[in-house]
Amino acid sequence: MPALNLLRRCAALTVWLATGTGATLAAESEVRGLTLTVASGGKSDVSLAPNVWLHVPAGQPATPFVAPGKFTAAWAGTLSAELRADFTFHGEFTGHLKVTVGETVALDAEGTGDQPVQGKTVRLNKGTNQLLAEYTAPENGEAFVRLFWSNSETPYNPLPLTELRPADSAELQASQLRHQGRDLWAEARCAKCHITPGGMAELTMDAPSFNGLGTRRNPAWLAQWIEQPAVLRPSSLMPKLFHGTEAKGDSAAVAAFLASLQGPTPLAVTPGDAAVGQALFEKLHCGACHGSPDSGEAQPQQLSLQRVNAKFAPGALAAFLQRPEAHYAWIRMPNFKLTPAEAQNLAEFLSAAATKTEATSAPADAALIAQGKKLVTSSGCLNCHPLDGMKSELTAKPLVDLTADKWTAGCLADTPTDNSKAPAYAFTAAQRTALRAFAATDRTALTRHTAADFTTRQSEHLNCRACHGQHEGFPTYELLLGKLKPEWAAQFIGGTAKLKPRPWLESRMPAFPAYAQNLAAGLAQIHGFGPTSGADPKPAAAEDLVKSGHKLVGSQGGLQCISCHPVNDLGATQVFEAPGINLGYSFDRLQPSFFRRWLRAPTALQADSKMPVYFDEEGRSPLPDIEGGDGPKTIQAVWEYLRLGPQMPKPE
Amino acid sequence: MFAQLSPAWRRTALAVATAAGFTALPAFAQKGATYRMMQDDFPFQAACIGVNIPTNNVAYKGYAIRVGNDAAVLWDTDTLRLVAGWTGGFVDTHGVVFDGNHGKHPQMIGDQKFAVGFGPGVAGANGSYADTRPEPYGPIDKSVAHWQGVHVNGMNVLLNYTVNGNTLISEQPGSVATEGQIAFTRTIKVEPPTSRFLFFKSSKTKAPFSLALADAEGAVKVTADNSVTIAGNGKVTVVTAANLPQGASLAAEGGRVSLKFATGTKGGTIKVAIWTGAEADSSKFAGIAAQAPDLADYSKGGPKRWTETVKLQGKLNTSATPDGAYVTDSITAPEDNPWKRRVRFGGMDFFADGKRAALCTHDGDIWIVSGLDSTLEQLEWSRFASGLYEPLGLQIVDGQIYVSGREGITRFTDFNNDGEADYYEAFNHDIMSTRGFHEFVFDLQRDAAGNFYYAKANPVNGGGRGFGDEKASRGNGTVCSHAGCLFKVSPDGKKFEVVARGFRAPNGIGVRADGQITTGDNEGTWVPTSPINWVDGKTFHGVINNLTPKAAAEAYAPPIMWLSHADFCNSNGGQTWVPNDNWGPFKGEMLYESYGKSSLYLVMRQDISNGRQQAAAVKFPLKFTSSVMRARWHPTDGQLYIAGLSEWQSNAARITGFDRVRYTGKPVYSVRGVKVVKDGVQLSFTQPLDPASVEDVQNWSGKRWNYIRSETYGSPEVNVGNSEKKGRETIDITAAKLSADGKTVTLKIADLKLANNQSLKWSLKAKDGTPVAQDIQHTIHEIPSANALN
């Protein structure tokens, strides 16, 4: 799974772009986005970017593959229009931005920060138009770009993601291989043996803890897993450490030792209700990552649940479901905040659907356990897996000594031999190619972290798009970019948010505590926003605007928002089609610019939204008696009212 | 008319004047005052209404009636039962048209004094109160008792019904207060049929019957002076009667006190009193019945109740199509009125002279507006009737107003010509109604033969999914056999029949003069997106509830077209047919009203095999004051008038609106016909087009997609070839050819396929240089095998 090959990576990107606004979709599954080339300090990096968006905080690198400092960026590709039509381009940016559409320069200006700079009106042909956006970051300070377009029938919005295609570039493919190699270096925990200068966030990722493992795993499964991890899980990044004729015995010894590591208290075994568990499995969309519980290894993208009985000691599955990150902080399985009863019901269901296994008891052979203990320290297990009071004795060459020519042997040998001492990873040929491509770089990318880069990769690993954009009430991943304030997103992704924005959904957003902070910042930064919310000062005469906003939200002469949206503890008055999110939370949740674009034309952002479009093509409000019918003022009035959050006076 | 490019997310034209349709903000809205939902200057409110005793005692079609002394009674028009009386209040304001609550209906407020339990309130010739209805909804056996209607006179009402098919009962509920105690009275006039034998005329009942007065448990004492006392639970209920003709008596049987009439009882006016209180007070009520008020004189109508009017100015040219051919004028609604009534128009029709129109509001009123002239400068609104049960359709026939609502069709008579209704007649109240908040009764149309048509929604559960789930909430109602049906009522009101079924929430129908019926429907369970249904009397229109016969469900007839939720219609209004050439070049075409998008569409139909049709829609880019829901053609100026309200999902600006769509006589620049041909689509236009702009395929684009019809709410848009894949697919328009007369364009489309929806969009020039930019959606059920020439 982490080692998505290039093709799959592109396909995945296609899927998430394709499930976007839904308004327009090409039939072909093509790669969407633009080819982004970033250059700084004599080096350049090419990647696939969803749009002409970028945010680089002061002093940070634009991508992990270039050094911090002044940089240039260029997005190249095509932009499709539905009909021959005129469009005006606008940019919100610092530094300098030049946008060329076909032969015409659509925008060429110094940026003024959050204040949009309007470019020229240019004619786009029906079908594809060459697009080139060239950006020069400012000498100092934060660098950002957010490009928009508009015309008489298109409100101010980013270029539609569905209409962007990257420029063909051999360099893009080569660069993506390097990115993938770097990703694998972290995901396969290479740095745990080969000392690596830090910086990339995932270099600190842990592996499942050995403390008390014997209480949580069945001994027989441990032995099997250690001996042949890739047989139990083809996508596993756990290497096979024992080879040759000793492999079986060594694995059994290590398993015996691990099985002897009992936790402080035995796990309670409480029976659950499998039928209730099944309903929960469906409600929570567990199948998005696991397929159906009785499916085997047929789908390589999904983690089979067939062996839960073999793997988990009695009571351990329910405990794991309740707190997956308890013994493994960076586990990809999120925390669904299950109640004990829910965890038991789900465990009962999974257990009933999985292959039955005979209970085995842990080997009591002291000599075997001692042998295992020795192997655990000598074989490198403890390089990744923590165990209190014990240290690994295995060392390997540091990264700096692993010159590129050496990346064809040892762990990366094309055909590992049985007498090799190196751990045997189940890398595919494509994965080895990617690692070698990365080896050929100066590897300083491992010393750099950007939240945007983190989010681009981890959103794939964590399978965000398996639910987002797939089910009702799950905003598409792309819609989330630039939608949520990073502070709120961090709470929501991290599982610390107190409220559920869509309480009517049976499903729930699970928590990814280790990932949350970076994902939240990354979602914003990919869209050109800072990792923390920007200034949003109250406008002059805010109090009058609040009054107008109060009226607009109400039903007496307003837009009747309260028909569908609750406001704090005041319930929605008349929900006919779709309930709306409580407006009491909106200010904390939403980027102000997203709110403005959303209220102006919700179905332009999400075609299947039930939210009505109130503003006309000139952006005027349908209520001329409030704020003179001025669209932006009307929208700002609602925002100023929302700003009061829990103190919002009740709408009428 | 159009010449306005319309993007996916919004399709409206330019040019709205700054004060679309209203000149001043309602004063009370500014002050934040609330609407007056339960009126204290009108005698009743119709609704599904509950009382406290016994549990779940409800009148599905109830009238809560004020009887003075801060007391009220509940009358059930289905069961002809005076359900209860209570003191110290009226009814609460829960309910979809009151406080907007989804799931609750009004409930009595106060101290309940007596009750008659659920079931018929009249026993016929066989002496039984047993409920013989197949479902416990709708009128009871009419041969036992048949609801006729209610007269109003000041704060008095007279309830009219027949018993045993021949005896007219007219009763006036009331109250008498004495020494701090309140007794409920029923002044009951009995008019048996008149028969003649030789020269002798006589009026006597031909068969026995009984009227239920009160149910009570306890020790029963019947005294000779026509008084029944029931003592129990520390209280006594005393029922007395005065002026009993021979053959009429009070009786207490099986816990029920009845007024019994033997065969041969003569007519007369009987006075009944019912009191409940402490035993010590019971002696005060001997003879109280005699104090019951006399019947008011209802035959001449009552005094004028609403003496004020609301005078307003309309506004002309509130929006226009880019070609200037059509403009809207706004007829300002009396949102601000002395009675603080909420105004949400649900039905509208004109009086024959065209100077006045009547509009009903979902809130239960009928308003009459005068001053419908070219200037709209002197609009005057007056109130005509009130207290109605959620009316959403209105017709005027021979000067008389007919309204459809949850009760059925009610006809109004103004005896004294004072501009207010005196008699609210149950023209046909055969429709069933349960508690469901979503059992809207929609629209009222007529064919040339004078038959009436209207529709009823399914009892959608709160939140929009599924039907009639009483476990989730009793207020979701029950699926009854009228749920999701379309009804026909004969011109005399005597015959009621279901003519089509399988609808979810068809907020608007259309009836062509020849009787051809169409309906829209609101997306949701089994409705993937807005359809235009062509009703031929045999077909089932798609919405399956737990009473849908299997055979009916299998005979599903797809609509003539779908309109996409996202950009054409998320919630329908009615349909109407352009009657003549006074309104531009569209005589004989259908217009479709979109409630949710507050938009008006021209529907362009194409005949295909087996008598079926497929159609396309293009928008009139105009702006309306509120939603676009109920359209009528003006009898003298020939223009189209549209009334609407905003209550469920709509982008309507105001809670109500009444607009005129006026044809200015300027040339119309628009598509006017869409036909699918062998390799593409042929579009006909109202004006000759510029060949160069037409034949450049850069000026044309299109997409296609399908829907999935299922029991989930609505449908995503999915790929035509692969329903697993979401979204619209771009079609390849390879050539555009213009006909010699410049008015027909044939588009060649590569790989043309059947599609639930295909959209086409163009940005062209007419031959005279006028921009023609429009977009359409159409449904392709069939691709004809030959290229048609026209």
Q: In CATH, what number is assigned to the domain containing residue A611?
A: 1.10.760.10
Chain B hits for A652, Cβ within 8 Å: 32, 34
Size of interface A-B (CB pairs under 8 A): 168
Query: What confidence score (pLDDT) does residue B471 get?
Result: 84
Choose between B415 and A21: higher pLDDT.
B415
Bond into B54 cis (ω within 30) = yes
Tell me: pLDDT of A149 over 50.
Answer: yes
Q: Are residues B590 and B559 in contact, defined by beta-carbon separation less than 8 angstroms?
A: no
pLDDT band at A296 (very low <50, low <70, confident <90, very high): low
Closest residue of chain B to A126, computed from CA coordinates:
B698
A534 within some domain: no
pLDDT digits (tens, 9 = 90+) for B430-478: 999 999 999 999 999 999 999 999 999 999 988 778 898 888 888 899 9
Domain of residue A608 covers 542-647
Closest residue of chain B to A504, computed from CA coordinates:
B463
Q: Are residues A45 and A131 in the same domain?
A: yes
Residue of B4, B5, B9, B619 to mutate, testing the A interface (most A Cβ within 10 Å of its Cβ):
B9
- The complex's ipTM? 0.77
A355 within some domain: no
Strand partners, B196: B201
Q: Are residues A465 and A571 in the same domain?
A: no
Q: Are residues A586 and A474 in the same domain?
A: no
Query: What confidence score (pLDDT) does residue B543 get?
Result: 95
DSSP code for A620:
-
Q: Are residues A482 and A613 in the same domain?
A: no
Of A25-34, A385-394, B8-17, B402-411, give the lowest mean pLDDT range. Answer: B8-17
Strands (E), B377-508: 379-385, 393-397, 400-405, 408-413, 423-428, 441-446, 452-456, 485-489, 496-501
Query: What confidence score (pLDDT) does residue B381 get?
Result: 98
Backbone angles phi, psi at B566, to 5 degrees: -65, -40
Closest residue of chain B to A27, computed from CA coordinates:
B729
Q: Are residues A16 and A158 in the same domain?
A: yes
Backbone angles phi, psi at A218, to 5 degrees: -80, 135
Tell me: pLDDT of A244 over 70.
Answer: yes
Of B428, B415, B398, B444, nearest to B492 by C-alpha is B428
Q: Are residues A484 and A626 in the same domain?
A: no
- 3-state class of B148 per DSSP? strand
Closest CA–CA distance from residue A83 to any residue of chain B (Å): 6
Query: What confidence score (pLDDT) does residue B554 get?
Result: 78
pLDDT digits (tens, 9 = 90+) for A491-538: 999 999 988 999 888 899 999 999 999 999 999 999 999 999 999 999
Chain B hits for A576, Cβ within 8 Å: 102, 464, 648-649
Query: What confidence score (pLDDT) does residue A176 get?
Result: 94
Q: Are residues A21 and A122 in the same domain?
A: yes
What's the CA gap between B442 and B405, in Å, rounded? 7
Query: What confidence score (pLDDT) does residue B785 get?
Result: 84
- Structurally, chain A folds into a number of domains equal to 3
Q: Are residues A475 and A620 in the same domain?
A: no
A569 within some domain: yes
CB contact under 8 A, B102 and A614: no
pLDDT digits (tens, 9 = 90+) for B498-529: 999 999 999 999 999 999 999 999 999 999 99
A522 within some domain: yes
The percent of residues in chain A predicted with pLDDT above 70, rounded, is 95
Q: Are residues A31 and A154 in the same domain?
A: yes
Strand partners, A121: A88
Query: What confidence score (pLDDT) does residue A422 get?
Result: 87
Q: In CATH, what number is assigned to the domain containing residue A134?
A: 3.90.182.10
Which of B22, B462, B565 lies nearest to residue A608, judging by beta carbons? B565
Of A380, A404, A401, nearest to A391 by C-alpha is A380
pLDDT band at A297 (very low <50, low <70, confident <90, very high): low
Residue of A17, A19, A25, A606 to mutate, testing the B interface (most B Cβ within 10 Å of its Cβ):
A25
What rounded mean pLDDT belongs to chain B? 92
What's the CA gap between B496 and B66, in Å, rounded? 32
Cβ neighbours around A201 below 10 Å, total? 19
Q: Are residues A187 and A390 in contact, defined by beta-carbon separation less than 8 angstroms?
A: no
Cβ neighbours around A206 below 10 Å, total? 17
CB contact under 8 A, A579 and B20: no
Closest residue of chain B to A561, computed from CA coordinates:
B649
A488 within some domain: yes
Which of A26, A555, A617 lies nearest to residue B10, judging by beta carbons? A617
DSSP code for A206:
-
A215 within some domain: no
CB contact under 8 A, A153 and B6: yes
pLDDT digits (tens, 9 = 90+) for A197-214: 999 999 999 999 999 999
pLDDT digits (tens, 9 = 90+) for A608-628: 888 889 998 889 998 988 999
Question: A80: number of CA atoms within 13 Å, CB side?
Answer: 15
Per this entry, what is the length of chain A? 652
The domain boundary residue, chosen from A123, A149, A169: A169
User: Which burial class, exposed, middle or buried, applies to A300 when counting CB atoms under 10 A from its CB (0-12, 13-18, 19+)?
Assistant: exposed
CB burial of A348-367 (b: ≥16 within 10 Å; e: otherwise) equals: bbbbbbbeeeeeeebbeeee
CB contact under 8 A, B649 and A577: yes
Chain A hits for B567, Cβ within 8 Å: 603, 607
Arithmetic mean of pLDDT, A631-637: 96
The domain boundary residue, chosen from A526, A554, A577: A526
Q: Which domains does chain B have, with CATH numbers?
A: 44-153+155-291 (2.70.98), 672-780 (2.60.40.1220)
CB contact under 8 A, A622 and B653: yes
CB contact under 8 A, B12 and A616: yes
Segment (H or E) for B156? strand B156-163
Residue of A15, A19, A82, A151 to mutate, testing the B interface (most B Cβ within 10 Å of its Cβ):
A82
Q: Are residues B101 and B94 in contact, defined by beta-carbon separation less than 8 angstroms?
A: yes
Q: Are residues A128 and A101 in contact, defined by beta-carbon separation less than 8 angstroms?
A: no
Query: What confidence score (pLDDT) does residue B222 get?
Result: 85
Cα–chain-centroid distance for residue A565? Answer: 28
A205 within some domain: no
Q: Are residues A16 and A165 in the same domain?
A: yes
Q: Are strands B640-645 and B630-633 parallel, antiparallel or unpaired?
A: antiparallel
Q: Are residues A500 and A562 in the same domain?
A: no
CB contact under 8 A, B464 and A620: no
Of A305, A348, A344, nearest to A322 by C-alpha is A344
Of B566, B377, B546, B530, nearest to B477 by C-alpha is B546
Tell me: pLDDT of B144 over 90.
Answer: yes
Which of B6, B8, B25 lies nearest to residue A23, judging by beta carbons? B8
- pTM for this prediction: 0.86
Closest residue of chain B to A622, computed from CA coordinates:
B653
> DSSP string of A537-575?
PPPTTHHHHHHHHHHHHSSSSS--GGGT--BTTBPPS--
pLDDT band at A563 (very low <50, low <70, confident <90, very high): confident
Closest CA–CA distance from residue B74 to any residue of chain A (Å): 27
Segment (H or E) for A373? helix A366-378
Of A239-253, A321-335, B20-34, give the lowest mean pLDDT range. Answer: B20-34
Q: Are residues A520 and A578 in the same domain?
A: no
Residue of B2, B4, B10 to mutate, testing the A interface (most A Cβ within 10 Å of its Cβ):
B10
pLDDT band at A299 (very low <50, low <70, confident <90, very high): low
pLDDT band at B254 (very low <50, low <70, confident <90, very high): confident
A217 within some domain: no
Closest residue of chain A to B438, computed from CA coordinates:
A576
Which of A560, A578, A613 lies nearest to residue B646, judging by beta carbons? A560
What's the CA gap between B503 and B481, in Å, rounded? 12
What's the CA gap between B753 and B742, in Å, rounded? 27
- 3-state class of B460 per DSSP? strand
Q: Which residues, 6 or more positions from A9, have their beta carbon under 8 angstroms from its beta carbon?
A: A176, A180, A460
Closest residue of chain A to B724, computed from CA coordinates:
A470
Chain A hits for B652, Cβ within 8 Å: 622
Residue of A123, A478, A577 to mutate, testing the B interface (most B Cβ within 10 Å of its Cβ):
A577
What's the CA gap between B737 and B753, in Å, rounded? 20
Of A280-294, A333-347, B23-37, B722-736, give the lowest mean pLDDT range. Answer: B23-37
Query: What confidence score (pLDDT) does residue B787 get?
Result: 54
Of A282-296, B9-23, B198-212, B401-415, give the lowest mean pLDDT range. Answer: B9-23
What rounded mean pLDDT belongs to chain A? 91
What's the CA gap between A123 and B323, in Å, rounded? 24
What's the CA gap between B404 and B392, in Å, rounded? 6
Query: What confidence score (pLDDT) does residue B790 get?
Result: 39
The percent of residues in chain B predicted with pLDDT above 90, rounded, is 81
pLDDT digits (tens, 9 = 90+) for B186-241: 999 999 999 888 788 889 999 999 999 999 888 888 887 788 998 887 889 999 99
Q: Radius of gyration over alpha carbons of chain B, in Å?
A: 29
Tell me: pLDDT of A300 over 70.
Answer: no
Residue A587's alpha-carbon distances to A554, A567, A581, A591, A638, in angstroms, are 17, 12, 12, 8, 10
Query: What confidence score (pLDDT) does residue A17 get?
Result: 32
CB contact under 8 A, A620 and B16: yes
Q: Which residues, 6 or more positions from B142, have their beta carbon under 8 angstroms from its beta carbon?
A: B165
The domain boundary residue, chosen from A169, A195, A226: A169
